Amino acid sequence: MKIKIFLGLLVFATLLSCNTKNNVEQKEEEHEEHNESGIVILNKKQQEALDLKLDTFQMRNLTTTVKTNGQLKVPPAATAEVTAIIGGNVKKIKVFQGDKVFKGQVLLILEHPEYISLQEQFAETAHKLEFLKQEFERRKELYENNVGAGRDFQKTKAEYNTAKARYEGLRSRLKLLNISPEKVLKGEITSTIAIKSPINGFINDTNVKIGKYVDPKDVLFEISDNTAIHADFVIYEKDVHLVKKDQKIHFTVSNKPEKEFTATVFAIEKEFEPNSRAVHIHAKINEKTNGLIPGMYVTGHLHTDGKYTRTLPNDAIVTEGTKSFIFVVDNDAMEHDDENAEHDEHGSTQEAGHEESEEHGHEPEEGSLAFKMVEIITGDKDDKYTEVKLINPLPENTKIVMNAAYYLLADMNKEETEHEH
Protein backbone atom coordinates (compact mmCIF):
# COMPACT_ATOMS: atom_id res chain seq x y z
CA MET A 1 0.00 0.00 0.00
CA LYS A 2 2.78 2.49 0.93
CA ILE A 3 4.58 1.70 -2.32
CA LYS A 4 1.44 2.53 -4.36
CA ILE A 5 0.97 5.87 -2.57
CA PHE A 6 4.63 6.80 -3.17
CA LEU A 7 4.41 5.97 -6.88
CA GLY A 8 1.25 8.09 -7.21
CA LEU A 9 2.90 11.13 -5.63
CA LEU A 10 5.94 10.71 -7.89
CA VAL A 11 3.77 10.69 -11.05
CA PHE A 12 1.84 13.78 -9.86
CA ALA A 13 5.05 15.71 -9.15
CA THR A 14 6.43 14.81 -12.59
CA LEU A 15 3.28 16.02 -14.37
CA LEU A 16 3.25 19.25 -12.34
CA SER A 17 6.90 19.91 -13.23
CA CYS A 18 6.25 19.36 -16.95
CA ASN A 19 3.24 21.69 -16.96
CA THR A 20 5.17 24.40 -15.13
CA LYS A 21 8.07 24.14 -17.59
CA ASN A 22 5.69 24.31 -20.58
CA ASN A 23 3.97 27.40 -19.15
CA VAL A 24 7.29 29.16 -18.59
CA GLU A 25 8.50 28.31 -22.11
CA GLN A 26 5.18 29.49 -23.60
CA LYS A 27 5.38 32.82 -21.71
CA GLU A 28 9.01 33.30 -22.79
CA GLU A 29 8.04 32.67 -26.42
CA GLU A 30 5.12 35.13 -26.17
CA HIS A 31 7.34 37.74 -24.52
CA GLU A 32 10.05 37.28 -27.15
CA GLU A 33 7.45 37.65 -29.93
CA HIS A 34 6.03 40.84 -28.38
CA ASN A 35 9.46 42.49 -28.11
CA GLU A 36 10.45 42.07 -31.76
CA SER A 37 14.13 42.81 -32.34
CA GLY A 38 15.25 45.80 -34.46
CA ILE A 39 12.13 48.00 -34.11
CA VAL A 40 12.18 51.60 -32.83
CA ILE A 41 9.04 53.71 -32.38
CA LEU A 42 9.29 57.52 -32.33
CA ASN A 43 6.41 59.83 -31.54
CA LYS A 44 5.83 63.07 -33.42
CA LYS A 45 7.71 65.24 -30.91
CA GLN A 46 10.78 62.99 -31.07
CA GLN A 47 10.74 63.14 -34.87
CA GLU A 48 10.58 66.94 -34.79
CA ALA A 49 13.36 67.18 -32.19
CA LEU A 50 15.64 65.06 -34.42
CA ASP A 51 14.55 66.96 -37.55
CA LEU A 52 14.03 63.49 -38.98
CA LYS A 53 14.20 63.30 -42.78
CA LEU A 54 12.70 60.45 -44.79
CA ASP A 55 13.38 59.70 -48.44
CA THR A 56 14.03 56.86 -50.89
CA PHE A 57 17.26 55.53 -52.38
CA GLN A 58 19.11 57.98 -54.62
CA MET A 59 20.84 56.99 -57.85
CA ARG A 60 24.30 58.58 -57.99
CA ASN A 61 27.62 58.08 -59.68
CA LEU A 62 30.30 57.11 -57.18
CA THR A 63 32.81 55.43 -59.45
CA THR A 64 35.01 58.30 -60.68
CA THR A 65 34.57 61.86 -59.46
CA VAL A 66 36.55 65.10 -59.63
CA LYS A 67 36.15 67.57 -56.80
CA THR A 68 35.61 71.12 -57.97
CA ASN A 69 34.40 74.52 -56.80
CA GLY A 70 33.38 77.80 -58.35
CA GLN A 71 30.64 80.41 -58.45
CA LEU A 72 27.15 80.94 -59.81
CA LYS A 73 27.10 83.33 -62.77
CA VAL A 74 24.79 84.62 -65.46
CA PRO A 75 25.88 84.81 -69.13
CA PRO A 76 26.60 88.20 -70.76
CA ALA A 77 23.34 88.02 -72.73
CA ALA A 78 21.38 87.90 -69.46
CA THR A 79 22.98 91.00 -67.88
CA ALA A 80 22.59 94.68 -68.67
CA GLU A 81 24.07 98.02 -67.66
CA VAL A 82 21.51 100.78 -68.15
CA THR A 83 22.75 104.20 -69.31
CA ALA A 84 21.19 107.37 -70.69
CA ILE A 85 21.44 108.05 -74.43
CA ILE A 86 21.66 111.77 -73.70
CA GLY A 87 22.61 113.26 -70.34
CA GLY A 88 19.98 114.75 -68.06
CA ASN A 89 18.86 115.38 -64.50
CA VAL A 90 17.08 112.63 -62.53
CA LYS A 91 13.48 113.69 -61.95
CA LYS A 92 11.85 110.48 -60.71
CA ILE A 93 13.13 106.99 -59.73
CA LYS A 94 10.63 104.19 -60.32
CA VAL A 95 12.48 101.14 -58.93
CA PHE A 96 14.62 100.06 -55.99
CA GLN A 97 17.60 97.74 -55.67
CA GLY A 98 16.43 94.11 -55.62
CA ASP A 99 13.19 94.79 -57.52
CA LYS A 100 12.09 92.45 -60.28
CA VAL A 101 11.63 94.30 -63.58
CA PHE A 102 10.43 93.44 -67.06
CA LYS A 103 11.70 94.39 -70.49
CA GLY A 104 10.31 97.84 -71.41
CA GLN A 105 9.44 98.79 -67.82
CA VAL A 106 10.21 102.43 -66.89
CA LEU A 107 13.11 102.62 -64.42
CA LEU A 108 13.49 106.40 -64.02
CA ILE A 109 12.60 109.76 -65.59
CA LEU A 110 15.21 112.28 -66.77
CA GLU A 111 14.61 115.89 -67.74
CA HIS A 112 16.77 118.44 -69.60
CA PRO A 113 16.30 121.42 -72.00
CA GLU A 114 18.27 119.54 -74.66
CA TYR A 115 15.37 117.14 -75.07
CA ILE A 116 13.15 120.10 -76.02
CA SER A 117 15.74 121.41 -78.45
CA LEU A 118 16.00 118.02 -80.15
CA GLN A 119 12.25 117.86 -80.66
CA GLU A 120 12.20 121.39 -82.08
CA GLN A 121 14.91 120.46 -84.56
CA PHE A 122 12.94 117.43 -85.63
CA ALA A 123 9.75 119.44 -86.13
CA GLU A 124 11.55 122.13 -88.14
CA THR A 125 13.30 119.53 -90.28
CA ALA A 126 10.03 117.72 -90.92
CA HIS A 127 8.33 120.92 -92.15
CA LYS A 128 11.35 121.89 -94.25
CA LEU A 129 11.43 118.40 -95.75
CA GLU A 130 7.82 118.70 -96.78
CA PHE A 131 8.58 121.93 -98.67
CA LEU A 132 11.77 120.54 -100.27
CA LYS A 133 9.92 117.45 -101.40
CA GLN A 134 7.38 119.53 -103.30
CA GLU A 135 10.16 121.71 -104.77
CA PHE A 136 12.13 118.61 -105.80
CA GLU A 137 9.14 117.08 -107.58
CA ARG A 138 8.44 120.40 -109.39
CA ARG A 139 12.08 120.84 -110.53
CA LYS A 140 12.20 117.19 -111.58
CA GLU A 141 9.14 117.59 -113.80
CA LEU A 142 10.58 120.73 -115.43
CA TYR A 143 13.94 119.06 -116.00
CA GLU A 144 12.38 116.00 -117.57
CA ASN A 145 10.38 118.29 -119.94
CA ASN A 146 13.54 120.23 -120.85
CA VAL A 147 12.13 123.40 -119.35
CA GLY A 148 14.21 123.83 -116.18
CA ALA A 149 17.97 123.99 -115.90
CA GLY A 150 19.79 120.84 -114.85
CA ARG A 151 21.87 122.74 -112.32
CA ASP A 152 18.80 123.97 -110.42
CA PHE A 153 17.37 120.46 -110.38
CA GLN A 154 20.56 118.94 -108.99
CA LYS A 155 20.79 121.61 -106.27
CA THR A 156 17.18 121.04 -105.20
CA LYS A 157 17.73 117.25 -105.21
CA ALA A 158 20.79 117.59 -102.93
CA GLU A 159 18.95 119.83 -100.48
CA TYR A 160 16.00 117.44 -100.42
CA ASN A 161 18.17 114.36 -99.76
CA THR A 162 20.11 116.19 -97.03
CA ALA A 163 16.90 117.23 -95.30
CA LYS A 164 15.54 113.70 -95.65
CA ALA A 165 18.65 112.17 -94.02
CA ARG A 166 18.53 114.71 -91.19
CA TYR A 167 14.86 113.97 -90.67
CA GLU A 168 15.45 110.22 -90.40
CA GLY A 169 18.40 110.75 -88.06
CA LEU A 170 16.43 113.01 -85.70
CA ARG A 171 13.50 110.60 -85.81
CA SER A 172 15.74 107.69 -84.78
CA ARG A 173 17.25 109.72 -81.92
CA LEU A 174 13.79 110.52 -80.61
CA LYS A 175 12.88 106.83 -80.68
CA LEU A 176 16.05 105.97 -78.75
CA LEU A 177 14.92 108.48 -76.12
CA ASN A 178 11.45 106.87 -76.04
CA ILE A 179 9.88 110.05 -77.45
CA SER A 180 7.12 109.62 -80.03
CA PRO A 181 7.95 111.45 -83.32
CA GLU A 182 4.25 111.44 -84.24
CA LYS A 183 3.36 113.34 -81.06
CA VAL A 184 6.12 115.86 -81.73
CA LEU A 185 4.68 116.53 -85.20
CA LYS A 186 1.34 117.19 -83.53
CA GLY A 187 3.01 119.82 -81.35
CA GLU A 188 3.29 117.71 -78.14
CA ILE A 189 6.74 118.64 -76.82
CA THR A 190 8.07 117.05 -73.60
CA SER A 191 10.97 118.03 -71.36
CA THR A 192 11.42 114.54 -69.95
CA ILE A 193 12.45 111.12 -71.19
CA ALA A 194 11.87 107.62 -69.74
CA ILE A 195 14.75 105.19 -69.20
CA LYS A 196 13.42 101.65 -69.69
CA SER A 197 14.74 98.18 -68.82
CA PRO A 198 16.29 96.37 -71.81
CA ILE A 199 15.73 92.88 -70.30
CA ASN A 200 13.72 90.94 -67.72
CA GLY A 201 15.58 90.51 -64.44
CA PHE A 202 16.43 91.96 -61.05
CA ILE A 203 17.97 95.31 -60.14
CA ASN A 204 21.39 94.46 -58.70
CA ASP A 205 22.84 97.94 -58.36
CA THR A 206 21.64 101.56 -58.58
CA ASN A 207 23.67 104.73 -59.02
CA VAL A 208 21.05 107.48 -59.16
CA LYS A 209 19.66 110.22 -56.91
CA ILE A 210 16.92 112.76 -57.42
CA GLY A 211 18.32 115.88 -59.12
CA LYS A 212 21.64 114.28 -60.03
CA TYR A 213 22.94 114.98 -63.52
CA VAL A 214 23.94 111.80 -65.33
CA ASP A 215 26.18 111.53 -68.38
CA PRO A 216 25.70 108.99 -71.18
CA LYS A 217 28.76 107.13 -69.87
CA ASP A 218 27.31 106.73 -66.34
CA VAL A 219 25.88 103.31 -65.41
CA LEU A 220 22.50 104.02 -63.81
CA PHE A 221 21.38 100.43 -63.09
CA GLU A 222 22.78 96.92 -63.32
CA ILE A 223 20.22 94.22 -64.14
CA SER A 224 20.63 90.44 -64.31
CA ASP A 225 18.21 87.73 -65.39
CA ASN A 226 18.67 85.08 -62.69
CA THR A 227 16.60 82.55 -64.62
CA ALA A 228 19.63 82.16 -66.89
CA ILE A 229 22.00 81.48 -63.98
CA HIS A 230 24.55 78.71 -64.40
CA ALA A 231 27.43 77.20 -62.43
CA ASP A 232 30.99 78.20 -63.32
CA PHE A 233 33.45 75.58 -62.00
CA VAL A 234 37.24 75.50 -61.89
CA ILE A 235 39.04 72.36 -63.11
CA TYR A 236 42.79 72.05 -62.53
CA GLU A 237 45.25 70.92 -65.17
CA LYS A 238 45.67 67.36 -63.88
CA ASP A 239 41.92 66.67 -64.28
CA VAL A 240 41.16 68.55 -67.52
CA HIS A 241 41.51 65.40 -69.66
CA LEU A 242 38.61 63.82 -67.73
CA VAL A 243 36.11 66.58 -68.53
CA LYS A 244 33.63 66.32 -71.42
CA LYS A 245 30.40 68.01 -72.42
CA ASP A 246 27.12 66.59 -71.04
CA GLN A 247 28.78 65.22 -67.88
CA LYS A 248 26.87 65.59 -64.62
CA ILE A 249 27.93 67.59 -61.57
CA HIS A 250 26.33 67.33 -58.13
CA PHE A 251 26.91 70.51 -56.14
CA THR A 252 25.83 72.53 -53.12
CA VAL A 253 25.81 76.27 -52.52
CA SER A 254 27.49 77.82 -49.50
CA ASN A 255 24.34 79.07 -47.79
CA LYS A 256 22.32 75.85 -48.38
CA PRO A 257 24.70 72.94 -47.75
CA GLU A 258 21.81 70.54 -47.08
CA LYS A 259 20.25 71.12 -50.53
CA GLU A 260 21.96 69.39 -53.46
CA PHE A 261 21.63 70.47 -57.09
CA THR A 262 22.65 68.82 -60.35
CA ALA A 263 24.11 70.50 -63.43
CA THR A 264 25.17 69.43 -66.93
CA VAL A 265 28.40 70.64 -68.54
CA PHE A 266 27.69 72.65 -71.72
CA ALA A 267 30.94 74.56 -72.32
CA ILE A 268 34.64 74.06 -71.56
CA GLU A 269 37.05 76.97 -71.89
CA LYS A 270 40.18 76.37 -73.96
CA GLU A 271 42.69 78.53 -72.10
CA PHE A 272 44.44 78.05 -68.74
CA GLU A 273 44.50 80.76 -66.12
CA PRO A 274 48.18 81.75 -65.87
CA ASN A 275 48.50 81.56 -62.08
CA SER A 276 46.31 78.63 -61.08
CA ARG A 277 46.79 76.48 -64.20
CA ALA A 278 43.08 75.80 -64.28
CA VAL A 279 40.26 76.13 -66.81
CA HIS A 280 36.65 77.12 -66.28
CA ILE A 281 33.77 74.87 -67.24
CA HIS A 282 30.17 76.03 -67.46
CA ALA A 283 27.25 73.85 -66.42
CA LYS A 284 23.50 74.32 -66.80
CA ILE A 285 21.57 73.85 -63.54
CA ASN A 286 18.88 71.20 -63.97
CA GLU A 287 16.59 72.20 -61.06
CA LYS A 288 14.59 75.39 -60.56
CA THR A 289 16.90 78.22 -59.57
CA ASN A 290 14.67 80.04 -57.09
CA GLY A 291 16.82 81.54 -54.35
CA LEU A 292 20.10 81.20 -56.24
CA ILE A 293 21.99 84.46 -56.71
CA PRO A 294 24.97 85.22 -58.97
CA GLY A 295 28.21 85.24 -57.00
CA MET A 296 27.29 82.41 -54.61
CA TYR A 297 30.16 79.96 -54.01
CA VAL A 298 29.52 76.34 -54.98
CA THR A 299 31.25 73.03 -54.24
CA GLY A 300 30.65 69.97 -56.38
CA HIS A 301 31.69 66.60 -57.72
CA LEU A 302 32.08 66.08 -61.45
CA HIS A 303 31.12 62.57 -62.58
CA THR A 304 33.38 61.41 -65.37
CA ASP A 305 31.43 58.29 -66.43
CA GLY A 306 27.82 57.15 -66.68
CA LYS A 307 27.64 54.25 -64.23
CA TYR A 308 25.04 55.06 -61.57
CA THR A 309 24.30 53.08 -58.42
CA ARG A 310 21.93 53.06 -55.44
CA THR A 311 23.17 55.34 -52.64
CA LEU A 312 22.23 56.88 -49.31
CA PRO A 313 23.72 59.74 -47.27
CA ASN A 314 26.45 58.62 -44.89
CA ASP A 315 24.29 59.71 -41.93
CA ALA A 316 21.65 57.15 -42.95
CA ILE A 317 23.98 54.19 -42.31
CA VAL A 318 25.08 52.78 -38.93
CA THR A 319 27.50 49.99 -38.07
CA GLU A 320 27.58 47.37 -35.35
CA GLY A 321 30.74 45.34 -35.35
CA THR A 322 31.43 44.40 -38.95
CA LYS A 323 27.84 44.83 -40.16
CA SER A 324 26.05 47.88 -41.57
CA PHE A 325 22.38 48.78 -41.15
CA ILE A 326 19.75 51.32 -42.19
CA PHE A 327 16.34 52.12 -40.68
CA VAL A 328 13.18 51.96 -42.82
CA VAL A 329 9.60 52.89 -42.01
CA ASP A 330 7.69 49.71 -41.12
CA ASN A 331 3.94 50.29 -40.83
CA ASP A 332 3.31 46.58 -40.32
CA ALA A 333 5.40 46.71 -37.14
CA MET A 334 3.21 49.52 -35.81
CA GLU A 335 0.03 47.49 -36.43
CA HIS A 336 1.64 44.45 -34.80
CA ASP A 337 2.59 46.59 -31.82
CA ASP A 338 -1.04 47.74 -31.47
CA GLU A 339 -2.27 44.12 -31.43
CA ASN A 340 0.31 43.12 -28.81
CA ALA A 341 -0.61 46.16 -26.73
CA GLU A 342 -4.23 44.99 -26.60
CA HIS A 343 -3.12 41.45 -25.73
CA ASP A 344 -0.79 42.68 -22.96
CA GLU A 345 -3.52 44.86 -21.53
CA HIS A 346 -5.92 41.92 -21.31
CA GLY A 347 -3.31 39.55 -19.85
CA SER A 348 -1.91 41.98 -17.32
CA THR A 349 -5.40 42.85 -16.08
CA GLN A 350 -6.05 39.22 -15.24
CA GLU A 351 -2.63 38.41 -13.80
CA ALA A 352 -1.13 41.58 -12.29
CA GLY A 353 -3.95 44.08 -11.91
CA HIS A 354 -4.73 47.53 -13.22
CA GLU A 355 -1.30 49.12 -12.51
CA GLU A 356 0.68 46.80 -14.79
CA SER A 357 -2.00 47.18 -17.49
CA GLU A 358 -1.41 50.93 -17.63
CA GLU A 359 2.33 50.36 -17.99
CA HIS A 360 2.19 47.91 -20.91
CA GLY A 361 -1.23 48.39 -22.53
CA HIS A 362 -1.14 52.01 -23.84
CA GLU A 363 -1.60 52.69 -27.55
CA PRO A 364 1.07 54.52 -29.61
CA GLU A 365 0.58 58.29 -29.89
CA GLU A 366 -0.93 59.77 -33.03
CA GLY A 367 1.76 60.53 -35.59
CA SER A 368 4.16 57.89 -34.25
CA LEU A 369 6.24 55.90 -36.72
CA ALA A 370 7.91 52.51 -36.43
CA PHE A 371 11.39 52.05 -37.86
CA LYS A 372 12.89 48.67 -38.61
CA MET A 373 16.64 48.05 -38.74
CA VAL A 374 17.68 46.40 -42.01
CA GLU A 375 21.11 44.94 -42.71
CA ILE A 376 22.89 46.12 -45.87
CA ILE A 377 26.29 45.87 -47.55
CA THR A 378 28.12 49.12 -48.30
CA GLY A 379 30.17 49.82 -51.43
CA ASP A 380 31.98 52.87 -52.82
CA LYS A 381 31.88 56.15 -50.90
CA ASP A 382 32.48 59.86 -51.38
CA ASP A 383 32.35 62.76 -48.93
CA LYS A 384 28.60 62.51 -48.28
CA TYR A 385 27.17 59.38 -49.92
CA THR A 386 27.71 55.61 -49.78
CA GLU A 387 26.75 52.89 -52.23
CA VAL A 388 24.15 50.52 -50.75
CA LYS A 389 23.63 46.85 -51.67
CA LEU A 390 20.56 45.13 -50.27
CA ILE A 391 20.79 41.65 -48.78
CA ASN A 392 17.01 41.23 -49.00
CA PRO A 393 14.88 43.28 -51.43
CA LEU A 394 12.72 46.13 -50.11
CA PRO A 395 9.39 47.30 -51.55
CA GLU A 396 9.66 50.06 -54.13
CA ASN A 397 9.56 53.60 -52.68
CA THR A 398 10.35 52.36 -49.17
CA LYS A 399 10.89 55.37 -46.91
CA ILE A 400 14.34 55.40 -45.31
CA VAL A 401 15.75 57.49 -42.46
CA MET A 402 18.22 59.91 -44.08
CA ASN A 403 19.74 61.29 -40.87
CA ALA A 404 19.97 60.55 -37.13
CA ALA A 405 20.33 56.82 -37.75
CA TYR A 406 22.84 56.61 -34.88
CA TYR A 407 20.22 58.03 -32.51
CA LEU A 408 17.73 55.33 -33.53
CA LEU A 409 20.40 52.66 -32.99
CA ALA A 410 21.24 54.03 -29.54
CA ASP A 411 17.55 54.24 -28.62
CA MET A 412 16.98 50.65 -29.72
CA ASN A 413 19.98 49.37 -27.74
CA LYS A 414 18.80 51.28 -24.68
CA GLU A 415 15.35 49.66 -24.82
CA GLU A 416 16.88 46.19 -25.21
CA THR A 417 19.21 46.79 -22.23
CA GLU A 418 16.32 47.95 -20.03
CA HIS A 419 14.28 44.90 -21.09
CA GLU A 420 17.08 42.50 -20.10
CA HIS A 421 17.16 44.00 -16.62
CA distance 416 to 421: 9
Question: Within this chain, do residues 218 and 234 fall inside the same structural domain, yes or no?
Answer: no
At 135 the pLDDT is 81
Specify the amino acid at residue 70.
Answer: G
In a domain, 270, yes or no: yes
- Residue range 181-208, pLDDT digits in tens: 999 999 899 999 999 999 999 998 899 9
**Of 236, 225, 232, nearest in space to 253 by CA:** 232
In a domain, 15, yes or no: no
In a domain, 12, yes or no: no
Question: Within this chain, do residues 301 and 365 fall inside the same structural domain, yes or no?
Answer: no
In a domain, 25, yes or no: no
Question: Within this chain, do residues 100 and 220 fall inside the same structural domain, yes or no?
Answer: yes
Question: Within this chain, do residues 256 and 322 fall inside the same structural domain, yes or no?
Answer: no
Low-confidence ranges of the chain (pLDDT < 70): 1-37, 63-64, 144, 147-149, 305-307, 333-364, 383, 415-421
In a domain, 132, yes or no: yes
In a domain, 69, yes or no: yes
Ramachandran assignment for 3, one of left (phi > 0), alpha (psi -120 to 50 degrees), beta (any other): alpha
Count of domains for the chain: 3
In a domain, 330, yes or no: yes
In a domain, 31, yes or no: no
Structural domain harbouring 404: 37-59+311-420
Model confidence, pTM: 0.55
CATH code assigned at 264: 2.40.30.170
Final residue before a domain boundary, out of 177, 203, 224: 224
Question: Within this chain, do residues 98 and 180 fall inside the same structural domain, yes or no?
Answer: yes
CA distance 237 to 279: 7
Question: Within this chain, do residues 93 and 218 fall inside the same structural domain, yes or no?
Answer: yes
Q: What DSSP assignment string belongs to 171-187?
A: HHHHHHTT--HHHHHTT
Final residue before a domain boundary, out of 291, 306, 321: 306
Final residue before a domain boundary, out of 279, 306, 333: 306
At 88 the pLDDT is 93
Question: Within this chain, do residues 187 and 107 fall inside the same structural domain, yes or no?
Answer: yes
Terminus-to-terminus CA distance in the chain, angstroms?
Answer: 50
Question: Within this chain, do residues 373 and 291 fall inside the same structural domain, yes or no?
Answer: no
At 421 the pLDDT is 55
Question: Within this chain, do residues 205 and 240 fall inside the same structural domain, yes or no?
Answer: no
- Residue range 111-127, pLDDT digits in tens: 999 999 999 999 999 99
Question: Within this chain, do residues 158 and 117 fall inside the same structural domain, yes or no?
Answer: yes
